[in-house]
Amino acid sequence: MIASNYHMINVFEHSLPVFSTFTSRIKTARVSSMGFCNFKDDMEKYFFKLDIPREKRYYYAVPRKTLEEDFTLIERIKEQVKKSVEHDKMKITYSVFPTDYDQIYVYCEANSSLIQKLVP
């Protein structure tokens, strides 16, 4: 699952989005984790939960048909992204990519500038 997630983020990093708010990454936020989200219920799952992430990036893989027919999609994405803010200094960006999938998939990446604790 980690390999496929990493692969998809890499594919999207080299693809042209139909809509994007991506900007340059925070240079000091080098500790990273990736994961996936459920578009329907706003659930986020990271492979390693970061303490106090400085930045989150979301990659929305959306079926072409949905992009053509769902005029509320961007507003729903904006609402979902707003809910993921953990503190007032967090930078959140997202991009929407057309796919041939039959449903929406959301891949996410979190970046922190803090050394993370490995033991609870």
Sorted by where each begins, the domain ranges of the chain are: 2-22+34-112
Closest Cα partner for 53 from 81, 31, 24?
31
How would you list the strands of the sheet with 105-112, edge to edge? Answer: 19-20, 91-99, 55-63, 105-112, 31-37, 44-46
Residue 120's pLDDT is 63
Give pLDDT tens digits for 86-96.
Answer: 999 999 999 99
| Domain covering 2-22+34-112, topology | 60s Ribosomal Protein L30; Chain: A; (3.30.1330)
Q: Report the C-alpha gap between 36 and 108 in whole angstroms.
A: 5
pTM: 0.94
Output DSSP code: residue 91: E
State which H helix or E strand residue 44 sits in.
strand 44-46
| 5-50 pLDDT per residue, tens | 999 999 999 999 999 999 999 999 999 999 999 999 989 999 999 9
